[in-house]
Amino acid sequence: MSTASRSTKVKAGDGKGFGHLLSPIKIGGLEIKNRIALSPMNETFSDGEGRAGEQCIAYFAARARGGTGLLVTGAVMGTRTAAKFVWGRNLYCFNEGHLQSLVLLTERVHYFGGKIAAQMTIGFGRQGHSYDHEELVPAPTAGLPYEFGLDAQPRFIAGGMRRNERARSFGYGQMTREMSIEEIHHDQREFANSCQLAVLAGFDVIEVHAPHGYLEHQFLSPLSNKRTDMYGGEWHNRKRFINEAMEQVRYAVPNTPVGVRISAEEHFEGGLTREEMIDVALGLEARGADYVSLSDGGGYEEAGHLVGEEDRVEHIPDSAVDFKKALKVPVIVASQHDPIKADADIAAGKYDISGLGRQLFVDPDYATKLAEGRAEEIVRCTRCNTCLARCLAGIGPACPNNPWLGREYADQGLMIGPRRKGEKLLPPGGPMPAVYGRPWWKPEITIDEEHFRPFRGPGPR
Ligand SMILES: Cc1cc2nc3c(=O)[nH]c(=O)nc-3n(C[C@H](O)[C@H](O)[C@H](O)COP(=O)(O)O)c2cc1C
């Protein structure tokens, strides 16, 4: 596949190539072959019922074939409520029916040498949309829909939204209602159970989705959490939702690395500060998080830092330094497209892994080109946000500089044949405890630690 329709010259860095970016790293017990990750992007290639079809699978396979060490999916709906309030198309993983297409996805990524993380979301809260636009959206606080003007958006997003009615409708959220405590506990447990399903589907890593004004973030922020119960008010209470979610996921998947994605700060007056988010990160690390992936910004109302233009993402490595100083686990930083700077920043200890979103939309072979001394062939993302505008419009991304984006299904080199002799037939993720109090097995049944226990069985119900 050729992506070299247009390239920006990149000179070799320090004479030693890109040794820092290309060196392996461990998250939890899992070795990732290099420091280049596909940043989570809901690329909207799944179908309306959350299944990965050939285009979705081939898209990930292309990035794995291109040498990316860790591929993180876009937000995967990890509860029924999350799936009900997602207006676009995301992957789903909350019942056994979702396993089949996810298994095909993880197998393909593994075949091409990558590791894959499921970015599991418990819900979008006030940033959710349902097909019934009259429906109230479950969120920390009632009566707090979001709304943003196009001038709050980066230039090119605003341009895309001006040109497309469907994209413009993201400017307004639906009316919210307050989640009850029972509902919170129900969704947390369902979420932990869904993370087990993701492990059964062959994902190597679970990433808890908590950045950009989504549900966990909404509970943290005083701007979106006005509750007066144990989940609102003082700082300790506002952290309760995300801390509990992490504890339950950690319990549910004890043998799988679990990361978390958060915003480094909120960039709103009175919103979450960097110091507070470092405190959040430390609390999550203490609860077993194996990495912290840093993005930035308050969400839809402040997307400038979510998918920034060059000048707005420049400062992110510097805010990451403060997280790195405080944390022991690896830190992923988004949007650092320039490999020379990324390599130098990793060498300087500013962060550990470079998470690339749109840059891997435009050039899936970024990592291989670095490894083969072909850095000058890397096609650089212009941050024009055509990809994002198309995703918001509901039609899947395309890129002016990568004619293959969205057409990966037609690349026969990304298909795989019959299973090879000796190929692993069961994903090595177990054993995992029962999330719902039902016993998974009778005590007399010997559990073979080498293999999975069948989900929710054997044993009485
Ligand atoms: C189309 C699109 C979808 C995105 N979806 C997600 C998502 O599902 N979860 C998430 O944490 N970030 C999401 N992001 C943010 C990216 O992970 C990333 O932080 C951002 O694009 C900046 O990195 P980049 O400059 O390399 O694209 C999305 C970005 C884009 C462009």
* pLDDT for residue 166: 79
Q: Rounded CA gap, 41 and 23, in Å? A: 24
Estimate the share of the chain in helix, then strand, then coil, as percent rounded to the nearest 5. Answer: 35, 15, 50
Structure tokens at 184: 């919170």
3-state secondary structure 187-231: HHHHHHHHHHHHHHCCCCEEEEECCCCCHHHHHHCCCCCCCCCCC
Report the amino acid identity of residue 251: Y
What separation in Å is there between the alpha carbon of 209 and the centre of ligand 1? Answer: 12
By DSSP bridging, strand 115-121 and strand 331-334 are unpaired
Would you give the DSSP letter of residue 302?
A: B
3-state secondary structure at position 412? helix
Minimal-distance CA residue to ligand 1 atom 20: 307
Task: Return the amino acid letter for 342.
Answer: A
The pLDDT, as a whole number, for residue 444 is: 61
Structural domain boundaries of the chain? 25-414
What six digits make up the tokens of 353? Answer: 């892994």
Residues with pLDDT less than 70, the chain = 1-16, 437-461
Cβ(193) – ligand 1 distance below 6 Å: no
Instruction: Measure 306 CA to ligand 1 centroid, in angstroms.
Output: 7
pLDDT at 221: 98
Determine the residue of 307, 315, 360 to mutate for testing ligand 1's pocket, defined as the one with the most ligand atoms within 8 A of the Cβ atom. 307
56 in ligand 1 pocket by Cβ < 6 Å? no
Ligand 1 pocket check for 38: Cβ under 6 Å: no
Is residue 195 within 6 Å of ligand 1 at its C-beta? no
| Longest distance between any two alpha carbons in the chain, whole Å | 65
Overall CATH class of domain 25-414: alpha beta
Q: Is the CB of 127 within 6 Å of ligand 1?
A: no
Omega before 458 within 30 of 0, i.e. cis: yes
User: 203 near 28, Cβ under 8 Å?
Assistant: no
Ligand 1 centroid – CA 182 distance (Å): 32
**Which residue bears the tokens 């950690």?**
250
First to last CA, the chain: 51
C-alpha of residue 16 to centroid of ligand 1, in Å:
30
Distance of CA 432 to the CA centre of its chain: 23
Q: What is the pLDDT of residue 3?
A: 40
Q: Which atom of ligand 1 is nearest to the CA of 293?
A: 11
Question: 0.85 exceeded by the pTM?
Answer: yes
Pick the atom of ligand 1 nearest to 295's CA. 19
